[in-house]
């Protein structure tokens, strides 16, 4: 007797259904209402600002740590609290990857302060407008990815002419300040806070919190989620986990599945080599040229690489070459290992990164893991209904 099979399609998504509740919670720039595991660092940042509540000057701060461990998120969290607490202290955040000259920085800051018709202004005119406005009260400047700027005139001007201020500088490089112009360094005199890598349970906790915000309850199998948490911990970058959560969910939806399983995660893992912080197509020709030199000669000292670069037709000076190397490193294309006290003095070993750490289809604010969008109740961006709405 023929038996009609039952339940063959019970685990299939129906038309218009979605596994996602709020996909935006997986964005690198998303700022949650609670930022776990960085309470101590946030308290230290707040301490640097507190003197300004008593009409005194704030402290300057150098914030360091590897990419993807919450430097920008913690800083933006403090700025958000500051904005809610005080109308007299202005928080100003600048991403120096995008605004990498004094002129661009001053233009952006004037726009943030609401100035109109500034298109034809010169740098000194823009700074005067900025200075006169912020000197009416107090200001916290945050310059994220400070190592990306091409000149530091803006920093000197702020240190000299802005009265009540705190300046926060964020960088992946602990020794960045060593190479800073002495006239700026002697005026800056920053405190330092280093963000340490998340422990495995912290990485998993962060990803679980985002998963629960982003997805309909119950769609993740634990083995699949555990694998993503492990991949993120191995990479030392929470953003790897956020990327994999999103892509695994999309992979399951493409198969019309109501559960996300290990197969979907493994499918995404195969694409990790494409997971770059900035698409190679978005690199300049010179940066691509330098990257090619490193790829062919991975593991060599930076001085030896510069010699090869010149032999291959490179025209830039050593200082410019070194700056390109640092930019590629900060974006996960290559890694640098410092060697101190060798026969040739201190140098760096440069290695090509096989797995690179951001989406290739979107340039991400290196400073920023999470977004300014602090509402957790945003509508589902897709037109599809969530599973829990049926």
Please check whether residues 160 and 292 belong to one and the same domain. Answer: no
CA 111 – CA 126 distance, rounded (Å): 10
Q: pLDDT at position 165, please?
A: 98
CA 56 – CA 53 distance, rounded (Å): 7
Helix axes 262-269, 238-254, angle to 10 degrees: 120
Answer yes or no: is 187 within a domain. Answer: yes
Q: pLDDT at position 11, please?
A: 60
Answer yes or no: is 10 within a domain. Answer: no
Please check whether residues 112 and 226 belong to one and the same domain. Answer: no
Please check whether residues 224 and 293 belong to one and the same domain. Answer: no
140, 173, 194 - which closes a domain: 194
CA angle 326, 332, 338 (to 5 degrees): 50
Please check whether residues 48 and 117 belong to one and the same domain. Answer: yes
Please check whether residues 116 and 247 belong to one and the same domain. Answer: no
Q: pLDDT at position 370, please?
A: 27
Please check whether residues 189 and 209 belong to one and the same domain. Answer: no
Token code pair at residue 349: 């070993």
Answer yes or no: is 3 within a domain. Answer: no
Answer yes or no: is 9 within a domain. Answer: no
Structural domain total, the chain: 3
Q: pLDDT at position 269, please?
A: 85
Please check whether residues 341 and 370 belong to one and the same domain. Answer: no
159, 174, 194 - which closes a domain: 194
Predicted confidence pLDDT, tens digits, the chain (390 residues):
444 455 544 566 666 789 999 999 999 889 888 899 999 999 999 999 999 999 999 999 999 998 889 999 999 999 999 999 999 999 999 999 889 999 999 999 999 999 999 989 999 999 999 999 999 999 999 999 998 898 999 999 999 999 999 999 999 888 889 888 999 999 999 999 999 999 999 999 999 999 999 999 999 999 999 999 999 998 888 999 999 999 999 999 999 999 999 999 999 887 765 554 445 556 778 888 999 999 999 889 999 999 999 999 999 888 889 888 887 876 678 888 777 656 666 788 898 875 444 433 333 332 232 223 333 233 343 445 444 443
* Domain limits for position 295: 280-352
Instruction: With 0.75 as the threshold, say if the pTM is over it.
Output: no
Q: pLDDT at position 280, please?
A: 59
CATH of residue 345's domain is 1.10.10.10
Please check whether residues 326 and 251 belong to one and the same domain. Answer: no
Total Cβ atoms within 10 A of residue 179: 11
Please check whether residues 328 and 225 belong to one and the same domain. Answer: no
Please check whether residues 320 and 241 belong to one and the same domain. Answer: no
Please check whether residues 166 and 57 belong to one and the same domain. Answer: yes
Burial class (CB in 10 A: 0-12, 13-18, 19+), 240: buried
Answer yes or no: is 118 within a domain. Answer: yes
């Amino acid at each position: 007797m023929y038996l009609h099979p039952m339940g063959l399609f019970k685990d299939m998504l129906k038309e218009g259904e979605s596994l996602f509740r709020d996909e935006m919670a997986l964005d690198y720039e998303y700022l949650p209402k609670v930022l776990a595991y960085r309470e101590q660092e946030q308290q230290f940042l707040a301490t640097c600002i507190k003197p300004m509540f008593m009409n005194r000057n704030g402290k300057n701060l150098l914030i360091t740590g590897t990419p993807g461990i919450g430097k920008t998120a913690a800083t933006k969290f403090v700025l958000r609290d500051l904005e809610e607490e005080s109308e007299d202290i202005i928080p100003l955040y600048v991403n120096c990857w995008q605004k990498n000259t004094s002129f661009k920085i001053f233009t952006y800051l004037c726009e943030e302060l609401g100035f109109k018709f500034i298109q034809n202004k010169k740098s000194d005119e823009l700074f005067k407008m900025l200075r006169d406005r912020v000197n009416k009260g107090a200001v916290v400047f945050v310059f994220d990815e400070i190592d990306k700027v091409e000149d530091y005139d803006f920093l000197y001007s702020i240190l000299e002419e802005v009265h009540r201020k705190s300046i926060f500088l964020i960088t992946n490089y602990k020794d960045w300040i060593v190479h800073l112009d002495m006239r700026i360094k002697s005026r800056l005199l920053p405190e330092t806070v280093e963000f340490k890598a998340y422990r495995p349970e912290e990485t998993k906790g962060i990803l679980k919190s985002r998963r629960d915000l982003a997805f309909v309850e119950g769609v993740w199998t634990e083995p699949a989620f555990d694998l993503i948490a492990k991949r993120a911990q191995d990479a030392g970058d929470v953003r790897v986990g956020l990327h994999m959560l999103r892509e695994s969910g999309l992979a399951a939806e493409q198969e019309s599945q109501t559960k996300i399983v290990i197969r979907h995660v493994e499918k995404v893992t195969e694409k990790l080599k494409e997971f770059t912080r900035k698409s190679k197509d978005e690199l300049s020709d010179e940066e691509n040229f330098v990257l090619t030199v490193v790829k062919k000669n991975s593991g060599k000292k930076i001085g030896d690489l510069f010699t090869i670069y010149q032999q291959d037709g490179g025209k830039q000076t050593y200082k410019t070459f070194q700056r390109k190397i640092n930019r590629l490193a900060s974006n996960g294309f290559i890694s640098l290992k410092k060697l101190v006290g060798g026969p040739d003095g201190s140098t760096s070993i440069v290695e090509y990164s096989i797995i690179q750490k951001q989406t290739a289809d979107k340039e991400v604010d290196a400073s920023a893991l999470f977004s300014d969008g602090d509402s957790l109740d945003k509508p589902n961006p897709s037109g599809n209904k969530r599973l829990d709405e049926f």
